[in-house]
Structure 1
Amino acid sequence: MKKESEIDFKKFKLKNNKMLMLAILAFIFLDEIIKIGGLIIKNNNMGFMTIVIIIAVFIILISIKQINQYQKGVRFTLGKFTGIMEPGWRLIIPIFQSYRKVDMRVRAVDVPDQEAITKDNISVTVNAVIYYKIADAEKAIIEVEDFFFAVSQLAQTTMRNIVGEVNLDELLSNRDEIAEKIKTIVDKATDAWGVKVDSVELKDVTLPEEMKRVIGKQAEAEREKRAVIIKSEGEVVASHNISKAAQVLSQETGSLHLRTLHTLNDLSSDQSNTVVFAMPLEILRAFENVADRK
């Protein structure tokens, strides 16, 4: 613990020494300008003094840099990282310092079509979109040359690898889970670059034409299967209801005769029908009794 604190103190001291040297150089530079200005004033050479003032103002103006609200600046002094520049107007010492702007907003990377082979040896073409942002501007500039290109390439290879680990049915039905796996892997790998992956979405999964026809036939067979099952279930329910109705009619006296008369009435509504039916003897006897009474 003591050694670490000593090392940190040395780094802090070295950094302060460098800043002190820069301050001394700037002070000497300004002092020389003042001396030159004083000599010029003594010699009444106002034209040269005007040129010096213009140069000084120009140096000050080019030293002021603007960092927008959605950006951060990475400052380098004599080639070394010396801090993060927050949004606003910031001062950069010309020649000695430089800086890089980093956009901290969420970016969308369109991963181009990738040909991959699933676990069950079916060739597919997949594309996706990745949403990410810079979480650490220092790492994004120092640790990787071009984080935009690096994230895109990593997403492509990861997507091909993940697709190769699943079957076609899983790829088509579990797209959200596969996208989450890709996000987890890419996010972990890009953490060292200061990149945070927010989400990954699979846009399209394109199949060969033969596979499309096979899947179409499978879907049609599945629909026919469901139709047969539904029809058979309906027949079971209908037969159960008919059996229950027959049981009720057999228990009630005259119910069967009443049902027969209702059926005859329904058939007689259409004059084009020719109906041949068996008349129950009970009904005939009833008609005979009526005739005898008359």
Structure 2
Amino acid sequence: MSRPKIPLRAIVVGLLIFGAAILLFSFTGQFFYFFERVNEDEVAVQFESGRITDIVGPGVYNDVGLFVDLKRVSSRAVAFEITDAELITKDKQRIGLVVTGDVFRPTLSQKDTIQELWAEYNQLYTDDDAVRTRISLRAQQAMKVCVGDRNFDDAVIGTARDELRNCIDDELNELAANFGLRVDNVVVPEVLLSPDVQAGLDEIVRKRLQTEQANQDLLRVKAEAEAEQERQQGEIRIAQSRIQEEAR
């Protein structure tokens, strides 16, 4: 028993109806949205006819109008890591740094910033890769500035690394503020040195340790000498007291 054949005309009509339904839904979808949820870690920008009408916090939103839309801006941290092995210090030494940190977008309390900068930097507010790339480039610029202002010793030895980190943090936040962004948790977890530079650093540290040890030895000898002098003076005073007692 042969299966009934579907007329070609019916197939074409069905496809046309299906395509028209998709086009109609796509077109009418520009005039409304319903039950759009904004999570706790987001803010949302509401649009009508291409213009921002409001910036709202967590909740569920509906709207009907001419070309309405809602775009979310995440408040979550966007982590970045940047490595630059070709940094030159003030005294012409070459070092490398690894810098990590977190980028934060404007929050609901900064809605004026979002509205002011949206036209220029909306991609940074909606695309994690875009904001990570932009901040990584600015971090590299901050690294060059801060390392270039310091001698080698002032960049990598002891507490100098904390001062370098603070400089990069301040410089990077100043640059990020131009985009309405904030950078926190900046860390310099690693300093990259060539074998020759590492050998020079080891020699500097060795000499400093020797100097500190020599100073400690000098202080110890001085303290021992003062203690011996006090002991001898005490014995002299005791002897003088005995002589005075015998004379009486």
Structure-1 residue corresponding to 2:104: 133
Greater RCO between the two (CA within 8 Å, min separation 6)? 2
**What is the count of residue pairs matched by the alignment?**
199
Structure-2 residue corresponding to 1:151: 135
Structure-1 residue corresponding to 2:119: 142
Task: State the shift of 1:244 in Å.
Answer: 0.8
SS of the aligned residue for 1:143 comes to helix
SS of the aligned residue for 2:153 comes to helix
Structure-2 residue corresponding to 1:121: 92
Corresponding letter in the other structure for 1:197: V
The 8 Å contact of residues 32 and 64 in structure 2, kept in 1 or not, is answered as no
Gaps of 5+ in 2: 1-20, 107-112, 124-129, 244-248
Task: State the shift of 1:140 in Å.
Answer: 6.2
Deviations 1:201-236 (Å, cap 9, x if unpaired)?
322233332123212322332233123312321332
Deviations 1:13-60 (Å, cap 9, x if unpaired)?
xxxxxxxxxxxxxxxxxxxxxxxxxxxxxxxxxxxxxx9xxx8xx969
The 8 Å contact of residues 116 and 160 in structure 1, kept in 2 or not, is answered as yes
1:89 pairs with one of 57, 60, 66 = 60
Give the TM-score normalised by structure 2: 0.65
Structure-1 residue corresponding to 2:211: 222
Q: Distance in 2 between matches of 1:112 and 1:244?
A: 64
1:209 pairs with one of 187, 198, 202 = 198
Give the TM-score normalised by structure 1: 0.56
Identical aligned pairs, as a percentage?
21
Task: State the shift of 1:197 in Å.
Answer: 2.9
The 8 Å contact of residues 113 and 125 in structure 1, kept in 2 or not, is answered as yes
Structure-2 residue corresponding to 1:192: 178
Corresponding letter in the other structure for 1:103: S
The 8 Å contact of residues 139 and 194 in structure 1, kept in 2 or not, is answered as no
- Seen in structure 2, the aligned counterparts of structure 1 residues 61 and 100 have a Cα distance that, compared at 3 Å, is closer
2:152 pairs with one of 143, 155, 168 = 168
The 8 Å contact of residues 82 and 136 in structure 2, kept in 1 or not, is answered as yes
Within 5 Å, give how 1:56-71 maps onto structure 2.
63-71=34-42
Structure in which a larger fraction of residues adopt strand: 2
Q: Distance in 2 between matches of 1:151 and 1:139?
A: 20
The 8 Å contact of residues 40 and 58 in structure 2, kept in 1 or not, is answered as yes
Q: Does 1:237 align with 2:226?
A: yes
Corresponding letter in the other structure for 2:198: E
Q: Distance in 1 between matches of 2:59 and 2:82?
A: 34
Q: Does 1:110 align with 2:81?
A: yes
Q: Distance in 2 between matches of 1:187 and 1:101?
A: 24
Within 5 Å, give how 1:249-264 maps onto structure 2.
249-253=238-242
Task: State the shift of 1:154 in Å.
Answer: 0.4
Task: State the shift of 1:95 in Å.
Answer: 8.5
Gaps of 5+ in 1: 1-50, 255-294
The 8 Å contact of residues 32 and 63 in structure 2, kept in 1 or not, is answered as no
